[in-house]
Structure 1
């Protein structure tokens, strides 16, 4: 367990009764409210200095309500220091009023438009999506890439076309751990790391394995690869809580990452668990 306070760059907070999420109906363990009080209970001895909220794929038309709800929660708990909100970038220039509304909330640091479930692996290369993406620097926003490993070719092209945009890779690009797939993810993640405007979250790894039967030795090669190609300067800790509880408790995931980084210096570990998040998300303190 880290002996210093950490910043979690990937926390979900929701109440399905208040703002519905269609996908949650298929996951009974997640179909209940999860707030900061539940996170405090789950973290145990983990010292949480700050957290970044990441949008929860709520039903269409409610994403701005979601961001406003989180901004209100942050007024009562300053640990909630940043928001990654949904934005329908495929709307092209028409997404601008939505981005302006997000910017007005003050805490929004970036946007995410889930790509992982798109049938078209090249969805992100559609002209309207790229037009919406190109607007993000106008608001100081980055874009969070939530993809499955099969979508890497299109994402590599997207990042190459938009050097003006900062990108955050969620969940190390969701490699096919459960199926034992190593390549081409192994090659693709190194190619993505070659772009200096991309940083990688060490999050959501165990949930890509067999939830009930995964072993640490099974997921470590993927974690080690992300650490190797991005380096300690461009990797951030993410809890992916509460989705992560499908595979393991929150504090256990912190300990897994702690062991995976134990060979690094204290300064490097503090970058991964704290300092990189503060820099990339422009967090106070």
Structure 2
């Protein structure tokens, strides 16, 4: 089986840091560490840890905890950073860039306003990442993709990756206007796409057929060299297993696409080794 490096995985310990959103998801309010990961028949070559939305003041502590408990599974860290503060975020970004496993940053944008995405502060903060060789994970919902494209256009030197295909409305089966909006994002060569997170956007009891049109379209507009597989573990356990998701993605890949999507793209984008 081809090497698989998971581009989107979370770890947390709610007894050490405050993840307030877990109050609404009690089944996930426990410690998740590498030893808990179950990829079924797949053998993980590694994973990228993505910040798990602890309180802002605990973000650096989260990074250092993951650097302690994450290896050898975790090959890179996407940390929280207050990029919305613009130039005022520079000191924290410089600290993060000096951490050995930090490869990128994320500030959740989903559920926010278009005005926040298009604001001067966010543009300035995200633009700082290029000189620090840090990437930016875009986490938005499908109705925010047009605004996300404007952010990308304003930051041409920054490398972006779209989390969870922009969270399309899989539960309803609707493809438009998501299909057009994600194609617009794909037209920017500095944007890559994570094939992740659709299980929790789908209806209960989802199958590969439910997510296939979204996966195929993303691969078509981005190309396999700009697509990477991610589990969104452990959130995805609310809607299925890691193996089920990896199977769903694998089913839409040709033999030629497989290496890039399963391992090559994530390694090239985040600058990590398999």
TM-score (norm 1): 0.93
Deviation string 1:171-207 (CA, Å, 9 cap, x unpaired) is: 0000111233321101011111111100000000111
The 8 Å contact of residues 122 and 151 in structure 1, kept in 2 or not, is answered as no
Distance 1:250 1:82 in 2: 20
Q: Which runs of 5+ in 1 are unaligned?
A: none
Distance 2:229 2:247 in 1: 11
Q: How does 1:48-197 map to 2 (within 5 A)?
A: 48-74=44-70, 77-118=71-112, 120-197=113-190
- Aligned to 2:233, which of 236, 241, 247? 241
| Matched position secondary structure for 2:260 | helix
The match for 2:7 is 9
Residues 96-105 or 162-171, more deviating: 96-105
Q: CA deviation at 1:217?
A: 1.6
Distance 1:260 1:190 in 2: 18
The match for 2:196 is 203
Q: CA deviation at 1:237?
A: 0.5
Q: CA deviation at 1:133?
A: 0.9
The match for 1:284 is 273
Q: CA deviation at 1:257?
A: 1.1
Distance 2:219 2:128 in 1: 30
- Aligned to 2:22, which of 16, 24, 28? 24
Q: CA deviation at 1:60?
A: 2.8
| Matched position secondary structure for 2:140 | coil
RMSD across aligned C-alpha pairs, in angstroms? 1.2
Distance 1:213 1:78 in 2: 33
Distance 1:55 1:65 in 2: 11
The match for 2:43 is 47
Distance 2:84 2:116 in 1: 9
The 8 Å contact of residues 121 and 150 in structure 1, kept in 2 or not, is answered as no
Q: CA deviation at 1:122?
A: 3.0
Distance 2:250 2:84 in 1: 38
Distance 1:179 1:21 in 2: 30
Aligned length: 274
- Aligned to 1:223, which of 172, 190, 215? 215
Distance 2:236 2:73 in 1: 20
Aligned: 1:275 with 2:257: no
Deviation string 1:140-168 (CA, Å, 9 cap, x unpaired) is: 00110000011111111111111111100
| Matched position secondary structure for 2:170 | coil
Distance 1:38 1:91 in 2: 36
